[in-house]
Amino acid sequence: MRTAWLKVSYVAAVVVLLAGVAASSRIAAGGQGMGGQQAAPASSPPPDAASVARGEYLVTAMGCHDCHTPWKMGASGPEPDMALALSGHPSDMTLPPPPQPSGPWVGSVTATFTGWAGPWGVSHAANLTPDPETGLGQWTEQQFVQTIRTGRRQGRGREILPPMPWPAFRNLNDADLKAMFAYLRTIKPIRNKVPEPVIASPAD
């Protein structure tokens, strides 16, 4: 290798070096490659079939559809609307202020089972589909795992509110959480911007 490099002329070496510096400067300045186009981000490898199957089993068995899929009235009563599977609280569902709790009752829930009110305030089930703007499409596997582990959005944001049972789900091992995320990457993306929660004021 050293002998081969010594055969390269001084001028050619300088040209190669300057070309590399120029390309690095363009990428550092704007993340652009040849022709001024934005460099495409590296795509994630597709999840393997076994992980996806395991994730589907866990998502189904752990009741994720109970809150994250809006419910509708079917022929036999309330049922999850699988056309909107795991898309969270409907963005077009405007909620009035929740009723005041009375007697032993401390909370209330919408007919879709996606909106909840209680001492913490008002929370809405998140969009778990891979929609890039309103769902988990821009999330990484690590952010998903850390959300469940810490009870904070993407592991560092706001706290995850009730009724999300993350204190129980955090006991899942990494392989199971990664399998769930792998499955969620494969379902139909649904554009649905879930409202932000309403945090209750601290009690006096």
The C-alpha atoms of residue 136 and residue 184 are separated, in whole angstroms, by: 8
One domain, residues 15 and 60: no
One domain, residues 75 and 132: yes
> Containing domain of residue 130, as a range?
49-93+106-199
One domain, residues 27 and 123: no
pLDDT digit string (tens) for 70-115? Answer: 999 999 999 999 999 999 999 999 999 999 888 899 999 999 999 9
DSSP letter at 162?
A: T
Residue 98 belongs to some domain of the structure: no
One domain, residues 89 and 144: yes
Strand 198-199 with 108-109, pairing: unpaired
One domain, residues 185 and 152: yes
pLDDT digit string (tens) for 175-196? Answer: 999 999 999 999 999 999 999 9
How many independent structural domains does the chain possess?
2
One domain, residues 11 and 89: no
